Amino acid sequence: MQLSAGMNTSRKGCQPPIETGRKGEGGFALLTVLLTLVAMTALAAAGFALSDSDYRVSQNHRSSLQAFLASNAGLYDYMGTVYNGDTLRTYGFPTGDVRAAGRKLIDIGDGRVVYEVAARASYDAPEGGTATRTVSTLAIYSDGDIDALAAISALPGLDKDGGSGTISGYDSADEDDCELAVAAPIPGVLVPPGGYTQNGGSPVPEGNPAQKELEESALIDYIDIPWQEISSGQGLYPDVRIPGDAWPDFNQLPSESWPLVFVDGSSALNATDSGRGTLIVTGDLTMSGSFNWDGLILVGGVMTSNGNNNVQGAVLTGLDVLLGEDVAETHIAHGTKTFQYNSCNVLRASEQGFGGLHEVPGTWSERL
């Protein structure tokens, strides 16, 4: 058979187009890409939102912490500077002002009052918003009134060697030295009947009267000091507690500082230990050399005075008698000694030693 001229024997021109994939596959891929982009965008937005939330939480925590630190600092500034809880104080801090005040809860007698002391601080954050925190504690106010009943009050009695020296109940405070100067004279010594003895010389005590004697039961009632609480350290906030702390360097203390020094046990002091404030010795006390003290001295056991001691204030010794214990009499040996009543020194010592506001341990809290 002859093929017609011009016929394309390969039939190339009649071959259909070759398909590269399933029908509609290109649209599905585009949709997948779009969905992936949307999902990634959503994840990125969520990440940014979470990061912003974390940042805000961090800023809020920082602002709250600033307010808390300021309120706590204001609370203890108030406790350390205010005499009683009836005062409203505002303290300025870099983060803002703190307002602190006391609220009287109950009068428990003997010059003591329970207060709730609270301090409130607000912090305005640079990013906006205000954080507020309030902290509080219970505190007991005491008027710190320790009566000076004599230049030396010796519950077991007092023995003096020789007629030299001074034991005087006449107030040595200068006029305008303090608000109570000059106080009326008090006895030179306060002792049980026949409790003052002196070996040689003219009687040393002077005052109004020079010697005051009371029967033991009346003497105990007259002293009226909570020695059980004091000697056990209950309700005391000593500036120095021995053993444990070092003896204070009074040359380095401000002149207005009249610390409470609490010695748990016996103590022997000399000239280098001279100072001021309230000295509490639960055991025996021996003073030697040129030991000087301005303020109050309270001794549970026997007080022995050697050398040229000088006490400007008041002394109470043999206080363990108040606990029903037997205590030997106080002994003052030969030497030029001065035990002189000074109302201003007693006032300063008792106010700073026993007076003012003191926190009740374990009562700190935060108001929510």
Q: Are residues 139 and 79 in the same domain?
A: yes
Q: Are residues 273 and 206 in the same domain?
A: yes
Q: What is the pLDDT of residues 119-165, one digit of tens each?
A: 999 988 877 778 899 999 999 887 777 778 999 999 999 999 988 89
Nearest Cα residue to 345 out of 185, 210, 172: 172
Asked, for residue 51, whether it belongs to a domain, the answer is no
Of 119, 143, 167, the one marking the end of a domain is: 143
Asked, for residue 48, whether it belongs to a domain, the answer is no
Asked, for residue 224, whether it belongs to a domain, the answer is yes
Q: Are residues 137 and 164 in the same domain?
A: no
Cα distances from 335 to residues 94, 108, 318, in angstroms, run 58, 46, 22
Which structural domain, as residue segments, surrounds residue 230? Answer: 152-356
Asked, for residue 29, whether it belongs to a domain, the answer is no
Q: What is the pLDDT of residues 317-348, one digit of tens each?
A: 999 999 999 998 888 876 789 999 999 999 88
Residue 150 phi, psi (nearest 5): -165, 165
Of 122, 143, 164, the one marking the end of a domain is: 143
Q: Are residues 170 and 254 in the same domain?
A: yes
pLDDT band at 26 (very low <50, low <70, confident <90, very high): low
Q: Are residues 119 and 231 in the same domain?
A: no
Question: How confident is the model at residue 102, as a pLDDT?
Answer: 94
Could you tell me which residues come within 8 angstroms of residue 273 by beta carbon, excluding any fewer than 6 positions away? Answer: 247, 291
Q: Do residues 265 and 248 lie in contact, with contact meaning Cβ atoms separated by under 8 Å?
A: no
The count of domains in the chain is 2
Higher pLDDT, 1 or 287: 287
Question: How confident is the model at residue 175, as a pLDDT?
Answer: 76
> Does the reported pTM lie above 0.85?
no
Q: Are residues 311 and 344 in the same domain?
A: yes
Q: Are residues 170 and 297 in the same domain?
A: yes
- Return left, alpha or beta for 279; rule: phi > 0 is left, psi -120 to 50 is alpha, else beta: beta
Asked, for residue 168, whether it belongs to a domain, the answer is yes
Q: Are residues 134 and 270 in the same domain?
A: no
Question: How confident is the model at residue 7, as a pLDDT?
Answer: 44
Q: Are residues 235 and 260 in the same domain?
A: yes
Residue 5, exposed/middle/buried by CB under 10 A (0-12, 13-18, 19+)?
exposed
Residue 209 phi, psi (nearest 5): -80, 175
Question: Is residue 350 helix, strand or coil?
Answer: helix
Of 87, 115, 143, the one marking the end of a domain is: 143
Q: What percent of the chain has pLDDT over 70?
A: 85
Q: Are residues 327 and 346 in the same domain?
A: yes
Least confident of 2-16, 40-54, 152-166, 322-336: 2-16
Q: Which residues of 110-143 are buried (b: 16+ CB within 10 A; e: fewer)?
A: eeebbbbbbbbbbbebeeeeebebbbbbbbbbbb
Q: Do residues 134 and 366 lie in contact, with contact meaning Cβ atoms separated by under 8 Å?
A: yes
Asked, for residue 20, whether it belongs to a domain, the answer is no
CA quadruple 79, 80, 82, 83: dihedral sign: positive
Question: How confident is the model at residue 347, as a pLDDT?
Answer: 87
Asked, for residue 15, whether it belongs to a domain, the answer is no
Q: Are residues 138 and 202 in the same domain?
A: no
Residue 40 phi, psi (nearest 5): -65, -40
Least confident of 56-65, 151-160, 305-314, 345-354: 56-65
- Half-sphere CA count of 135, side-chain side, radius 13 A: 20
Asked, for residue 277, whether it belongs to a domain, the answer is yes
- Distance (Å, rounded) from C-alpha 237 to C-alpha 303? 24
Q: What is the pLDDT of residues 220-277, one digit of tens each?
A: 899 888 899 889 887 678 899 999 999 999 999 988 889 999 999 999 999 999 999 9
Kindly report the average pLDDT of the chain as a whole number. Answer: 85
Element at 45 (helix H, strand E): helix 25-81
Q: Are residues 306 and 186 in the same domain?
A: yes
Question: How confident is the model at residue 246, as a pLDDT?
Answer: 95
Q: What is the pLDDT of residues 94-112, one digit of tens each?
A: 888 999 999 999 998 777 8
